[in-house]
């Protein structure tokens, strides 16, 4: 068997508004337009165009909205279908999903993570309702739903211990993911499903599409977003990881659920420049669509 590899890693935020605004037939609520979220939809279109040049056979997603009390969990049933509802925005996201899971790869990551000293569990309940983070990011990146996924939960380490311990665990989970992909011969696309700055409005306008309502909630936190994106652009991955606890604390970033650090760990903390496909706000949060194209690096090397 040929050694597997990570083709590309992406920061792929999951505001349900973006799934809603793209009007997939699976989603019950229908949007009349994209309004203020158009820049983010355009960013996802650019990401999809860039990914079309690559051949990969599985999407591996780390999601903040499947929160597991003890350890890191992995979907462990070959097929799931059901209705996923955003608990905060049920008016925007009621998505009828059908998806396949690469259980062999999920089990391999699970075992490898155990070998790294992490607590892990395979989730074997066929009735389990898949979270909106996994679904939104996967859908926006590959709306065809023609490839299997691996979905990884968000353990509570940052919250129960500290941001520093959380960071160490996510780097270990990233290493485990990379090694399992190599050992199983997969060509994998990795998705860190997270917003950057995450302070948001607590009230929704009567018309959720009203563009006059949409703007960044806190400019100080948005400045952090600009700084973090500049580090990504410059390929300063180690510095980004060093600053991650401050970024998380000072911008109440959703990266505290670990997805971005997991991704950077899986990419071997490679110091390669990322492409920022776009940035925009959703209900006041800061969201960037970002790509680290490992395959292109190898070709250029």
- Does 193 bind ligand 2X7 (CB under 6 A)? Our answer is no
- Nearest CA among 169, 139, 190, 137 for reference residue 68: 169
Q: Please report how close the Cβ of residue 147 comes to ligand 2X7 at its closest, in angstroms.
A: 23
- Does 214 bind ligand 2X7 (CB under 6 A)? Our answer is no
Looking at beta carbons only, is 80 or 217 nearer to ligand 2X7?
A: 217
Q: Please report how close the Cβ of residue 93 comes to ligand 2X7 at its closest, in angstroms.
A: 9
Q: Please report how close the Cβ of residue 283 comes to ligand 2X7 at its closest, in angstroms.
A: 5
Q: What is the DSSP letter of 101?
A: B
- Does 15 bind ligand 2X7 (CB under 6 A)? Our answer is yes
Q: Please choose, out of 11-19, 158-166, 180-188, 255-263, the segment that lies near ligand 2X7 by the rule CB under 6 A.
A: 11-19
Dist. CA 82–CA 96, nearest whole Å: 6
- Does 18 bind ligand 2X7 (CB under 6 A)? Our answer is no
CA dihedral 289, 36, 257, 56 (to 10 degrees): -30
- Does 195 bind ligand 2X7 (CB under 6 A)? Our answer is yes
Kindly tell me which residue out of 61, 282, 289, 294 binds ligand 2X7, with binding defined by CB under 6 A: 282
- Region of 150 (left: φ > 0; alpha: ψ -120 to 50; beta: rest) is beta
Q: Are 295 and 272 in contact, with CB atoms under 8 Å apart?
A: no
Dist. CA 207–CA 280, nearest whole Å: 19
Q: Are 50 and 275 in contact, with CB atoms under 8 Å apart?
A: yes
Say if residue 220 is exposed, middle or buried (CB neighbours under 10 Å; 0-12, 13-18, 19+). exposed
Q: Please report how close the Cβ of residue 143 comes to ligand 2X7 at its closest, in angstroms.
A: 19
Question: Helix, strand or coil for residue 9?
Answer: strand
Looking at beta carbons only, is 197 or 237 nearer to ligand 2X7?
A: 197
Q: What is the DSSP letter of 15?
A: -
- Does 283 bind ligand 2X7 (CB under 6 A)? Our answer is yes
Tell me whether strands 94-100 and 79-85 are parallel, antiparallel or unpaired: antiparallel
Q: Please choose, out of 31-39, 68-76, 113-121, 279-287, the segment that lies near ligand 2X7 by the rule CB under 6 A.
A: 279-287
Dist. CA 240–CA 220, nearest whole Å: 18
- Does 254 bind ligand 2X7 (CB under 6 A)? Our answer is yes
Q: Please report how close the Cβ of residue 190 comes to ligand 2X7 at its closest, in angstroms.
A: 18
Q: Please report how close the Cβ of residue 124 comes to ligand 2X7 at its closest, in angstroms.
A: 26
Q: Please report how close the Cβ of residue 61 comes to ligand 2X7 at its closest, in angstroms.
A: 14
Binding site for ligand 2X7 (CB under 6 A): 14-16, 195, 200, 254, 282-283, 285
């Amino acid at each position: 068997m040929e050694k597997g590899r990570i083709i590309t890693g992406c920061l792929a935020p999951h505001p349900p508004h973006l799934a809603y605004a793209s009007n997939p037939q699976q989603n019950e609520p229908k949007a009349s337009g994209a309004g203020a979220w158009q820049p983010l939809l355009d960013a996802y279109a650019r990401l999809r165009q860039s990914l079309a040049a690559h051949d990969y056979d599985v999407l591996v997603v780390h999601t903040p909205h499947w929160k597991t009390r003890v350890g890191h969990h992995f979907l462990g049933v070959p097929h799931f279908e059901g209705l996923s509802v955003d608990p905060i925005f049920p008016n925007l996201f009621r998505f009828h999903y059908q998806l396949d899971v690469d259980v062999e790869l999920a089990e391999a990551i699970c075992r490898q993570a155990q070998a790294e000293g992490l607590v892990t569990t395979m989730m074997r309940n066929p009735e389990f309702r898949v979270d909106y983070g996994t679904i939104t990011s996967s859908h926006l990146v590959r709306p065809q739903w023609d490839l299997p996924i691996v979905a990884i939960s968000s353990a509570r380490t940052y919250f129960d211990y500290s941001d520093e311990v959380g960071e160490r665990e996510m780097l270990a989970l990233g290493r485990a993911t990379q090694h399992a992909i190599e050992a199983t011969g997969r060509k994998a696309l990795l998705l860190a499903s997270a917003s950057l700055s995450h302070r948001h409005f607590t009230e929704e306008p009567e018309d959720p599409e009203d563009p006059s309502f949409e703007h960044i909630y806190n400019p100080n936190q948005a400045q952090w977003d600009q700084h973090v994106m500049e580090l990504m652009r410059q390929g300063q991955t180690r510095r980004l990881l060093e600053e991650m606890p401050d970024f998380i604390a000072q911008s109440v970033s959703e990266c505290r659920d670990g997805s971005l650090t997991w991704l950077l760990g899986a990419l071997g903390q490679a110091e390669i420049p990322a492409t920022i496909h776009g940035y925009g706000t959703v209900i006041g949060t800061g969201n960037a669509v970002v790509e680290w194209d490992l395959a292109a690096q190898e070709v250029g090397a």
